[in-house]
């Protein structure tokens, strides 16, 4: 481990750059934006991440102290495999999502299709005298985390800020690199690789902006991708939702939608939506090697959806102890479409876990209702910047029956 830090006094946002890509990648490619051509060759490449707001890397060393009769001090302090955890948060900006960059070798967009894909994470740190990470600049260090698995992913869509993606990667290998010792983001002589430049960076979405509340497609607005139409639908128990989910989407290949409807902004006032999944990676070890043989997804995986709305009536949820035939609850389809080609699908089997009515107190606040729903294993995010994305119905389709 070595650094060129003789003249560096601190690290700030302008002097950090992040890339995620194929395991063992030896080259660099820019993210695919909404305006880019359909072909996107990401195999064997690190993909530059745009819109990154923060990155944190935790390293934990597991120690197993062995003692023996006859002495108080440790007999041996056995070192286990280190655990590396990296968390990246970025805004949705039209470019390749971190979740997709970490699963270049996925077989399809579902959880099972993405479960075995592994990725490399690299971060470069520049000098505090630079105003941007751009070609030709000298660097202080490059971080290399290899063979990482995605562990958790969440999408947050508030009304009072930017839409964001949070991704956690886990692995067992981390290395700090200097020039000419296995670098990818570093170029010759310890300067930034030509493809890794942020000096003139800006979002690459259809309206050249970051995704915010006005980029959430509502009503019967259909976004056509790969020859199929996509429309946002939410559970029909939400006050004001037009229960036309099946009718609206039947003509576009979604006859399986159930108990859902489109969002009429005149009657439905969603304050926030979020989707989250935690894969709960567990290690499988084998005799003959210290490194884990595999870090598997702990199926079943709970997929959570939260929807908060301004209350204009009750929460529309009856709960009785004398459970009626069929139960208190029903299955619901949820799908969200954004203007930058993002399509979030959590299937047709979402059931309500809890509903909270609150606010509207004497202090003058508004009453709100928060619905928390969950399913098992149904989680798909589609986007034109996905390395596996095909401009056809093979990729852009509804993935659940």
What's the confidence (pLDDT) of residue 247? Answer: 46
User: How many structural domains compose the chain?
Assistant: 2
From the list 80, 20, 90, the residue with the least C-alpha distance to 51 is: 90
Query: Same domain for 133 and 276?
Result: no
Three-state DSSP class for residue 129: coil
Query: Same domain for 309 and 256?
Result: yes
Query: Same domain for 157 and 25?
Result: yes
Are the C-beta atoms of 17 and 185 separated by less than 8 Å? yes
Per-residue tens of pLDDT for the chain, all 401 residues: 455 556 788 889 988 999 999 999 888 888 887 666 566 778 888 999 999 999 999 999 999 999 999 999 999 999 999 999 999 999 999 999 999 999 999 999 999 999 999 999 999 888 888 888 876 666 778 899 999 999 999 999 999 999 999 999 999 999 988 765 667 786 655 666 766 667 778 888 766 689 999 999 998 888 888 888 899 999 999 998 987 655 444 445 456 799 999 998 999 999 999 999 999 999 999 999 999 999 999 999 999 999 999 999 889 999 998 888 888 999 999 999 999 999 999 999 999 999 999 998 898 899 999 999 999 999 999 998 998 887 677 899 999 98
The pair of three-digit structure tokens given for residue 342, joined into one six-digit string:
């993002």
Strands 173-177 and 234-235, bridge-based pairing: unpaired
Burial (Cβ within 10 Å: 0-12, 13-18, ≥19) of residue 191: middle
Helix spans in 142-258 (H): 245-250
Is residue 21 in a domain? yes
Give the other-Cβ count within 10 Å of 70's Cβ: 6
Is residue 205 in a domain? no
**Residues facing residue 28 across a β-bridge:** 46
**DSSP, res 312:** S
Is residue 390 in a domain? no
Last residue of a domain, one of 141, 175, 190: 190
Query: Same domain for 179 and 281?
Result: no
The pair of three-digit structure tokens given for residue 389, joined into one six-digit string:
């994305």
Query: Same domain for 21 and 165?
Result: yes
What's the confidence (pLDDT) of residue 312? Answer: 92
Query: Same domain for 262 and 182?
Result: no
Q: What does pTM read for this prediction?
A: 0.93
Radius of gyration of the CA atoms of the chain, in A: 24
What's the confidence (pLDDT) of residue 251? Answer: 42
Query: Same domain for 20 and 124?
Result: yes
What's the confidence (pLDDT) of residue 27? Answer: 85
Give the other-Cβ count within 10 Å of 173's Cβ: 14
CA distance 143 to 178: 9
Query: Containing domain of residue 88, as a range?
Result: 13-61+80-190
CA distance 87 to 291: 22
Buried b (16+ CB within 10 A) or exposed e, 253-284: ebeebbbbbbbeeeebbbbbbbbbbbbebeee
Is residue 4 in a domain? no
Are the C-beta atoms of 72 and 153 separated by less than 8 Å? no
What's the confidence (pLDDT) of residue 254? Answer: 58
Give the other-Cβ count within 10 Å of 252's Cβ: 15
């Amino acid at each position: 481990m070595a650094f060129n830090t003789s003249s560096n006094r601190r690290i700030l946002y302008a002097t950090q750059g992040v890339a995620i890509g194929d395991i063992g990648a030896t080259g660099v490619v820019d993210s695919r934006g909404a305006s880019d051509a359909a072909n996107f060759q990401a195999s064997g490449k690190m993909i530059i991440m745009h819109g990154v707001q923060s990155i944190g890397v935790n390293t934990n060393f597991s120690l197993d102290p062995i003692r023996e009769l006859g002495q108080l001090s440790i007999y041996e302090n056995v070192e286990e495999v280190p655990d590396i955890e990296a968390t990246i948060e970025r805004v949705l900006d039209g470019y390749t999502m971190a979740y997709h960059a970490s699963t270049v070798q996925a077989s399809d967009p579902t959880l099972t299709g993405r479960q075995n894909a592994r990725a490399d994470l690299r971060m470069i740190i520049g000098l505090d005298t630079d105003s941007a990470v751009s070609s030709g600049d000298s660097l202080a260090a490059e971080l290399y985390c290899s063979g990482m698995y995605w562990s958790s992913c969440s999408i947050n869509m508030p009304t009072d800020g930017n839409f964001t993606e949070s991704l956690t990667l886990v692995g067992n290998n981390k290395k700090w690199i200097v020039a000419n010792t296995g670098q990818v983001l570093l170029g010759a002589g310890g300067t930034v690789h030509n493809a890794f430049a942020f000096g003139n960076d800006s979002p690459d979405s259809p309206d050249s902006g970051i995704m915010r509340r006005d980029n959430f497609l509502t009503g019967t607005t259909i976004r056509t991708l790969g020859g199929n139409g996509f429309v946002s639908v939410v559970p029909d128990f939400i006050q004001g939702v037009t229960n036309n989910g099946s009718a609206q989407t039947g003509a576009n290949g979604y006859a399986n939608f159930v108990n859902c409807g489109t969002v009429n902004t005149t009657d439905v006032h969603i304050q926030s939506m979020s989707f989250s999944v935690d894969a709960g990676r567990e290690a499988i070890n084998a005799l003959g090697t210290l490194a884990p043989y595999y870090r598997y997804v702990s199926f079943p995986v709970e997929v959570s959806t939260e929807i908060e709305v301004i209350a204009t009536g009750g929460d529309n949820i009856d709960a009785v102890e004398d459970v009626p035939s069929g139960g208190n609850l029903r299955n619901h389809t949820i799908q969200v479409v954004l203007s930058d080609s993002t399509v979030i699908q959590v299937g047709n089997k979402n059931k309500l876990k809890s509903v909270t009515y609150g606010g509207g107190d004497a202090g003058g606040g508004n009453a709100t209702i928060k619905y928390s729903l969950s399913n098992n294993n149904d989680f798909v995010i589609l986007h034109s910047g996905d390395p596996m994305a095909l401009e056809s119905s093979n990729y852009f389709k509804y993935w659940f029956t």
